[in-house]
Amino acid sequence: MDQTSFKARPYAGDADLKKISKLLSECEAIDMMGLRRTPDELRVQFSDPSLNTELDTRLWEAPRRKLAGYALLDIEMGARIDATLRWRIHPNYRADWLDDDVIQWGEERMRQLAAEKGLPARIQSVARDIDRPRQFMLEWHDYNVIHELWQMERNLHQPIDHPQLPEGFSVRAAIPEQDADAWIAMYNESFIDHWDHVDLTREAYFHRRQNDPGYARERDLIVIAPDGQFAAFCWSFINPDEISRARTKQALLQQIGTRRGYRNLGLGRAILCQTLQTLRDQGMDSVRLYVYTDNKLGAQKLYEDAGFTKSFSLVTYAKALTEGAALKP
């Protein structure tokens, strides 16, 4: 049987969102990665100011303009260019080696960018623990495993510990327009030890807060130190489209962090418990989060102690595309 002939093009705007949403739904029936997205949800992703849709997105169409797959490069610029290649292929076209075209496109784009900027470049991608065909394709292209990422979940109907803060510390909801600079400084100092940290910008800070329908400031919590310094944070999302689609009231805990100088005081546990109570009080049945198993600051143990359990794992693969682009720092 002859292989299907595909035509590749960049993302062309809102007209493509419904096609991509349909593709993700049809993939999810097999892949079970929780990656269904409505057109409105996808619009937030594709409107990110850091995404160059002309150069860093591709859609592959089969005859009659049937969407067979799509990919985007999530690029972070620093002393090294790091890119995460995100892609999905429709189940009907997975025997046509379209994954091979996707990976080659992503690598070529990154090599061009590395040459343009005069910087080393590394590319990574993720496969679910049970997705052996995707793992094989990455390994065939000389990608190596560098991390394991767990999705963890917690039932919010189980008892939640009362938040216990050290004397003089307090928790309040963020006021984005007022808190942006202080929050960004706290975030960057909290994650500076993380293996893939890139400093957060004001543009990125406001993009999701202003565009994601799942955001609400009462779920964007900050721990304030006695001297007024922002010491820790936790923010979570309740996505109305996801709840309607899945018919389950599950929230996403996006990030939690404690600033250098305020660690080992119990702030992370306190604000985590406060977040769990907030989500329960807002009618959620459960919450999920993602954590790297090699996190050096004890995040996995923090979540396990708070009642989270592993639901599945994702394997992160990486490849150095130029000299000087180590797979890990």
Q: Tens digits of per-residue pLDDT, 206-249?
A: 998 998 889 999 999 999 999 999 999 999 999 888 888 777 89
**20 and 72 fall within a common domain:** yes
**143 and 233 fall within a common domain:** no
**138 and 107 fall within a common domain:** yes
**135 and 186 fall within a common domain:** no
**101 and 192 fall within a common domain:** no
**77 and 124 fall within a common domain:** yes
CATH of the domain at 302: 3.40.630.30
The C-alpha atoms of residue 73 and residue 124 are separated, in whole angstroms, by 10
Q: Among 312, 317, 318, which residue's Cα sits nearest to residue 35?
A: 312
**168 and 253 fall within a common domain:** yes
Q: What residues contact residue 58 under an 8 Å CB cut-off, 6+ apart?
A: 8, 9, 10, 11, 70, 71, 72, 102, 105
- Give the three-state DSSP class for 60: strand
Q: Is 154 a member of any domain? A: no
Q: Is 327 a member of any domain? A: no
Q: Is 326 a member of any domain? A: no
Instruction: With beta carbons less than 8 A apart as the criterion, state whether 178 and 220 touch.
Output: no
**217 and 253 fall within a common domain:** yes
What is the residue range of 238's domain?
159-306
Q: Bigger pLDDT: 297 or 173?
A: 173
The C-alpha atoms of residue 155 and residue 149 are separated, in whole angstroms, by 20
Q: What is the pLDDT averaged over residues 11-36? A: 89
Q: Is residue 297 predicted with pLDDT exceeding 80?
A: no
pTM attached to this predicted model: 0.85
Instruction: With beta carbons less than 8 A apart as the criterion, state whether 24 and 88 touch.
Output: yes
**21 and 140 fall within a common domain:** yes
- One-letter amino acid for residue 81 of the chain: I
The number of distinct structural domains making up the chain is: 2
Q: Among 16, 14, 24, 68, which residue's Cα sits nearest to residue 241?
A: 24
pLDDT mean across residues, the chain: 92
Q: Is 252 a member of any domain? A: yes
Q: Is residue 326 predicted with pLDDT exceeding 80?
A: no
pLDDT digits over 59-96, tens only? 999 988 899 999 999 999 888 999 999 999 999 999 88
